[in-house]
Amino acid sequence: MEFLLGNPYSTPVGQCIERATDGSLQSEDWTLNMEICDIINETEDGPKDAIRAVKKRLNGNKNYREVMLTLTSRRSR
């Protein structure tokens, strides 16, 4: 249950997801999206941490750009 606590953006993949889905980005950062894929594929907690960060970003978010970038980031995996 410990994985449910804490800030999902405090993990390496969470930090990348937060940066990749920043609403101030003008377009997708494919280098960052590929880094997210690498972290997910290369670390044991990567998939779980990524899901937590994506859920947090999407949950109740009304910022169109952040939602679009989050879904684009998610699709690239």
Which residue in the block uniquely carries the two structure tokens 């997801």? 17
pLDDT at 73: 67
* 26 SS3 class: coil
Q: Within 1-77, where are the H helices?
A: 12-20, 30-42, 46-58, 64-75
pTM for the whole structure = 0.81
Dist CA 34 CA 61 (whole Å): 24
pLDDT tens, residue order, the chain (77 aa):
445 578 999 999 999 999 999 989 988 899 999 999 999 999 999 999 999 999 998 888 888 888 888 887 665 55
Give the residue extent of every domain in the chain: 12-75
**Residue 14 in tokens:** 């969470």
- Structural domain 12-75, CATH architecture: Alpha Horseshoe (1.25)
23 Cα distance to chain centroid: 13
pLDDT at 63: 86
